[in-house]
């Protein structure tokens, strides 16, 4: 089974306009779907990264708040170890800064909290902070800081930062959300514990172990931060200028801070370091932490923005490319449709002209495709028709000319035969008079001498007339031979016309078979359209579009059937005319055959007339001879008179028979003249029918 049978049957049932619509939809719908899917994917990626930027925007003030909370915790830790009044002033100042930081965070929360699904959390943290100045403010602040760090993680989760697929932005996100806040928290804890130990100038082994553990965690987190930054630089070397300097400064600060903690707090037998120097060193380290955090946050936001811009640019380029491709494809598609439509319309118009009898023009191939290839066979068919019509016209002209010539010849022959008939009547009257004279001579021998001269003159007249009659009969026979030749030519022309009519009939049958094939195809197309409608009905809502296409296919099939029926009707009309012409030709051929038989019979009669007239001449010569010897042989007068009477009677009988034959022959020639006139009228009718075709 042909793999493309179904699609072939579907396309056959559509007009070219609907074919192009179906093919265009099959091409453009996937393009639109693909473009939509790509646009949707781009929009999702842009939305994903835009949401990451929202997370970065939310985290920035939150990190400032955590830094202020860590400073406040350190101040409360110092307050618990000392009764310095100045610390209370710093606490109040720090609380005012924390309040401002909360207000800034509230503003961002009002803007982004609902979208990031963290709305209300910062207010809970604010409430906890308000209660943190109670009996144990250090632990309360630690709890608030822990809640704030947890909020950063929640924001990172809800803003897709944790799900970032790119390594550079992932390590930056990890540093912003996890590593740097964790390291900063450990650093502030070390600062707070160390400052309290330096303030009291005493530290236990257990406290040293706690500091050592915190320093280890700090070193671990700092190594993770440094490795993450290096991974970012390896992944995206263009970021080295912004990140590497901050990383190196932080590394240097860490080494200095770790060295002081190890030497002055953990491993020192006595605590000699000044608290202010330690706090200054810690503040510098924390400041670099904060700077690195801000740098990474800024770089992360920049990376995400560049990525969003790239996605938007790609989406724009893709859309432009799709639109341009669509326009080019549509332009070519429309050009293809116009080319096919013009070619088919041109061929259709030319065939309509041919069906109307216009064979003067030749089709020109405007395309080099399969439609253009149809032009040559159509031109061949038109040329064959032209040759057939030309041959038929030429034959008709020949038959017309031959019929006219035959009619003229027969008319002349009839006139000659009328003349000969008159002469034969005169000859018959002379013979009858001669016979009476012979009778009278036999009764009145005495009058022979008186009338011998008269007989001699009469015999001479008879000889002259007989010779003239013989000459007229000879000319009539020659005319009949000419008429017989003309009838042979007419017979040949009629046979050629019959052959041409048979050829036209066979060509009409071939065209009729082609039209029947087209009608069968239209019927099959109608059936397939009906099947397609049934299948579309089964498909329900999904088959509505296909049902419309099937209905249009069925309309096309019905139109094709109407066109084939119209062509069949015209072909049947042409075949009817050709068959009528063939019957006329057969009738003409039969009439020509009858005419030839009649001429052949008349030719035999003329031959008999020639023989009779020759005998008559011979007898008249004998009469003349006898008349000359009458005066010398009177004894034979009676016998000669009786013989002349007998010959005169026989001549009269023969002359009467010849006259009757000539009369019959004249009737036959008149019938032949009527047949020739009928043939002439039939050839004129054939010419009128052929004149419908214009060469």
The reply to whether 525 and 661 lie within a common domain is yes
The reply to whether 389 and 286 lie within a common domain is no
- pLDDT of 392-411, one tens digit each? 777 767 767 766 776 776 67
What would the mean pLDDT of 633-656 be, rounded to a whole number? 63
What would the mean pLDDT of 504-517 be, rounded to a whole number? 72
The reply to whether 283 and 223 lie within a common domain is yes
The reply to whether 553 and 486 lie within a common domain is yes
Last residue of a domain, one of 274, 298, 329: 329
Query: Which pLDDT does position 355 carry in this prediction?
Result: 76
The reply to whether 325 and 376 lie within a common domain is no
Q: What is the DSSP-derived secondary structure letter of residue 634?
A: G
The reply to whether 535 and 645 lie within a common domain is yes
Return phi, psi of residue 273, to 5°. -70, 140
User: Is the per-residue pLDDT at 231 higher than 60?
Assistant: yes
User: Is the per-residue pLDDT at 636 higher than 90?
Assistant: no
383: how many CB neighbours lie within 10 A of its CB?
A: 12
Residue with tokens 């069925």: 554
- pLDDT of 290-328, one tens digit each? 888 888 888 888 888 888 888 888 888 888 988 898 889
Query: Which pLDDT does position 3 carry in this prediction?
Result: 80
Query: Which pLDDT does position 216 carry in this prediction?
Result: 92
What would the mean pLDDT of 162-186 be, rounded to a whole number? 79
What would the mean pLDDT of 69-97 be, rounded to a whole number? 81
What would the mean pLDDT of 495-511 be, rounded to a whole number? 70
Number of domains within the chain: 2
User: Is the per-residue pLDDT at 414 higher than 70?
Assistant: no
Strand residues in 51-106 grouped as ranges (E) = none
Distance of CA 227 to the CA centre of its chain: 63
The reply to whether 325 and 377 lie within a common domain is no
Query: Which pLDDT does position 103 carry in this prediction?
Result: 93
Q: How confident is the model at residue 389 (pLDDT cuts 50, 70, 90)?
A: confident
Question: Which has the higher per-residue pLDDT, 632 or 242?
Answer: 242
Q: Which two tokens stand for residue 269?
A: 């037998």
Query: Which pLDDT does position 217 carry in this prediction?
Result: 92
Question: Which has the higher per-residue pLDDT, 27 or 542?
Answer: 27
Choose from 130-134, 252-256, 520-524 the range with maximum mean pLDDT. 252-256
The reply to whether 164 and 309 lie within a common domain is yes
Q: Which two tokens stand for residue 537?
A: 């009905």
Query: Which pLDDT does position 192 carry in this prediction?
Result: 85
The per-residue pLDDT of the chain, averaged, comes to: 77
The rounded distance, in Å, linking the Cα atoms of 46 and 145 is 33
The rounded distance, in Å, linking the Cα atoms of 560 and 115 is 63
CA atoms within 13 A on the CB side of 461: 14
Choose from 189-193, 437-441, 552-556, 608-612 the range with maximum mean pLDDT. 189-193
What would the mean pLDDT of 551-577 be, rounded to a whole number? 74
User: Is the per-residue pLDDT at 597 higher than 60?
Assistant: yes
The rounded distance, in Å, linking the Cα atoms of 553 and 530 is 9
Query: Which pLDDT does position 369 carry in this prediction?
Result: 67
What would the mean pLDDT of 522-539 be, rounded to a whole number? 75
- 353 within a domain of the structure (yes/no): no
- 51 within a domain of the structure (yes/no): yes
- 356 within a domain of the structure (yes/no): no
Q: How confident is the model at residue 107 (pLDDT cuts 50, 70, 90)?
A: very high
- pLDDT of 620-629, one tens digit each? 577 567 667 7
Q: How far is CA 299 from CA 181, 182, 243, 478, in A?
A: 17, 20, 8, 127
Query: Which pLDDT does position 96 carry in this prediction?
Result: 92
The reply to whether 202 and 79 lie within a common domain is yes
User: Is the per-residue pLDDT at 354 higher than 70?
Assistant: yes
Residue with tokens 């000044």: 274
The reply to whether 491 and 605 lie within a common domain is yes
What would the mean pLDDT of 217-234 be, rounded to a whole number? 89
Query: Which pLDDT does position 631 carry in this prediction?
Result: 56
User: Is the per-residue pLDDT at 674 higher than 70?
Assistant: yes
User: Is the per-residue pLDDT at 100 higher than 90?
Assistant: yes
Query: Which pLDDT does position 41 carry in this prediction?
Result: 84
Last residue of a domain, one of 329, 355, 388: 329
Q: How confident is the model at residue 2 (pLDDT cuts 50, 70, 90)?
A: confident
Q: How confident is the model at residue 34 (pLDDT cuts 50, 70, 90)?
A: confident
Query: Which pLDDT does position 579 carry in this prediction?
Result: 73
Partner residues linked to 694 by β-bridges: 358
Q: How confident is the model at residue 268 (pLDDT cuts 50, 70, 90)?
A: confident
Query: Which pLDDT does position 105 carry in this prediction?
Result: 92
- pLDDT of 337-350, one tens digit each? 787 777 778 788 87
The reply to whether 303 and 159 lie within a common domain is yes
Q: Which two tokens stand for residue 95?
A: 């609380």
Q: What percent of the chain has pLDDT over 70?
A: 73
Question: Which has the higher per-residue pLDDT, 599 or 551?
Answer: 551
The reply to whether 583 and 490 lie within a common domain is yes
- What residue numbers bound the domain in which 487 lies? 370-690
């Amino acid at each position: 089974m042909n793999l493309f049978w179904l699609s072939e049957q579907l396309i056959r049932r559509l007009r070219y306009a609907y074919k192009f619509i179906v093919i265009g939809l099959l091409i453009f719908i996937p393009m639109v779907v693909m473009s939509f899917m790509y646009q949707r994917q781009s929009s999702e990626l842009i939305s994903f990264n835009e949401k990451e930027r929202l997370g970065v925007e939310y985290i920035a003030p939150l990190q400032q708040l955590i830094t202020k909370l860590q400073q406040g915790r350190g101040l409360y830790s110092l307050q618990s170890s000392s009764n310095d009044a100045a610390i209370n002033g710093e606490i109040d100042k720090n609380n005012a800064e924390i309040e401002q930081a909360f207000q800034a965070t509230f503003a961002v929360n009002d803007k982004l909290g609902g979208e990031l699904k963290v709305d209300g959390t910062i207010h809970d943290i604010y409430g906890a902070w308000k209660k943190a100045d109670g009996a144990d403010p250090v632990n309360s602040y630690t709890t608030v800081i822990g809640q704030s760090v947890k909020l950063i993680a929640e924001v990172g989760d809800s803003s897709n930062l944790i799900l970032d697929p790119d390594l550079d932005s992932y390590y930056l996100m990890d540093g912003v959300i996890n590593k740097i806040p964790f390291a900063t928290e450990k650093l502030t804890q070390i600062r707070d514990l160390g400052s309290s130990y330096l303030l009291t100038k005493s530290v236990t082994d257990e406290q040293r172990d706690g500091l050592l553990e915190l320093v280890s965690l700090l070193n671990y987190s700092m190594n993770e931060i440094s490795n993450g930054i290096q991974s970012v630089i390896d992944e995206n070397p263009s970021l080295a200028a912004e990140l590497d300097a901050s990383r190196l400064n932080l590394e240097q600060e860490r080494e200095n801070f770790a060295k002081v903690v190890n030497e002055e707090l953990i491993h020192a037998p006595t605590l000699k370091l000044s608290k202010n120097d330690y706090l200054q060193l810690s503040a510098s380290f924390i400041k670099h932490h904060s700077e690195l955090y801000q740098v990474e946050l800024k770089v992360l936001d920049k990376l995400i923005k560049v990525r969003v811009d790239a996605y938007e640019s790609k989406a724009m380029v893709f859309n432009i490319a799709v639109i341009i491709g669509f326009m080019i494809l549509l332009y070519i598609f429309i050009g293809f449709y116009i080319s096919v439509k013009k070619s088919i319309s041109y061929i259709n118009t030319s065939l309509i002209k041919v069906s109307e009898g216009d064979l003067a023009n030749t089709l020109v191939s405007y395309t080099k495709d399969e439609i253009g290839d149809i032009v040559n066979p159509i031109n061949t068919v038109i040329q064959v028709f032209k040759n057939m019509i030309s041959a038929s016209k030429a034959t008709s002209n020949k038959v017309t000319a031959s019929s006219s010539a035959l009619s003229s010849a027969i008319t002349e022959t009839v006139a000659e035969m009328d003349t000969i008939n008159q002469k034969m009547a005169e000859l018959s009257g002379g013979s009858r008079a001669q016979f009476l004279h012979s009778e009278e001579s036999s009764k009145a021998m005495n009058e022979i001498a008186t009338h011998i001269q008269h007989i001699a003159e009469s015999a001479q007249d008879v000889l002259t007339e007989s010779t003239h009659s013989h000459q007229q009969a000879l000319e009539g026979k020659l005319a009949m031979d000419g008429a017989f030749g003309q009838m042979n030519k007419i017979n040949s022309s009629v046979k050629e016309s019959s052959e041409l009519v048979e050829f036209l009939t066979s060509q009409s049958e071939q065209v009729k078979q082609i039209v029947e094939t087209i009608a069968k195809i239209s019927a099959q197309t109608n059936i397939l359209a009906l099947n397609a409608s049934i299948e579309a009905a089964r498909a329900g809502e999904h088959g509505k579009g296909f049902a419309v296409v099937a209905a249009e296919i069925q309309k096309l099939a019905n139109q094709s059937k109407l066109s084939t029926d119209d062509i069949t009707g015209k072909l049947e009309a042409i075949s009817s005319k050709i068959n009528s012409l063939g019957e006329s030709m057969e009738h003409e051929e039969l009439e020509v055959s009858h005419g030839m038989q009649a001429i052949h019979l008349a030719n035999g009669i003329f031959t008999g007339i020639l023989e009779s007239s020759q005998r008559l001449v011979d007898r008249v010569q004998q009469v003349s001879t006898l008349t000359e010897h009458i005066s010398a042989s009177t004894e034979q007068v009676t016998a000669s008179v009786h013989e002349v009477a007998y010959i005169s009677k026989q001549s009269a009988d023969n002359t009467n028979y010849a006259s009757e034959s000539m009369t019959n022959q004249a009737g036959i020639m008149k019938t032949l003249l009527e047949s020739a006139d009928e043939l002439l009228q039939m050839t004129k009718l054939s010419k009128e029918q052929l004149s419908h075709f214009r060469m």
